């Protein structure tokens, strides 16, 4: 049996806080807007569920991509809405 503090110290790179999960994974609070960064241009684009490429879009928090809870939040962070 590992004490919790020993396990966290040994696995620090694997541990996420609740706030990190809600921001990067969109699991908490129903945040379902995907903030995607275009590989070729670095452009920050967000996708809403009704858009054509929403289902195909994957979010990689390690690449700076994230989930948003509203379009206003995405725009305030400097992201633009996807065209399709």
**Ranges of each domain in the chain:** 23-81
Structure tokens at 43: 């452009």
Structure tokens at 53: 């490429």
Q: Which of 68, 73, 58, 84 is nearest to 31 (CA)?
A: 68
Confidence of residue 9 (pLDDT cuts 50, 70, 90): confident
Q: Tell me the pTM.
A: 0.65
* Model pLDDT for residues 12-39, shown as the tens digit of each residue: 766 555 444 444 555 456 799 999 999 9
Cα Rg for the chain, rounded, in angstroms? Answer: 15
Q: Which of 29, 76, 71 is nearest to 46 (CA)?
A: 71
Structure tokens at 60: 């990689």
Q: Which of 62, 58, 59, 57 is nearest to 14 (CA)?
A: 62
* Model pLDDT for residues 24-82, shown as the tens digit of each residue: 555 456 799 999 999 999 999 999 999 999 999 999 999 999 999 999 999 999 999 99
């Amino acid at each position: 049996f590992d004490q919790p503090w020993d396990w966290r110290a040994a696995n620090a790179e694997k541990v996420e806080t609740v706030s990190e999960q809600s921001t990067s994974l969109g699991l908490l609070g129903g945040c379902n807007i995907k903030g995607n960064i275009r590989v070729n241009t670095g452009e920050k684009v967000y996708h809403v569920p009704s858009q054509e490429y929403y289902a195909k879009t994957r979010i990689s928090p390690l690449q700076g991509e994230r989930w948003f809870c509203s379009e206003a939040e995405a725009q305030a962070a400097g992201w633009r809405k996807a065209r399709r």
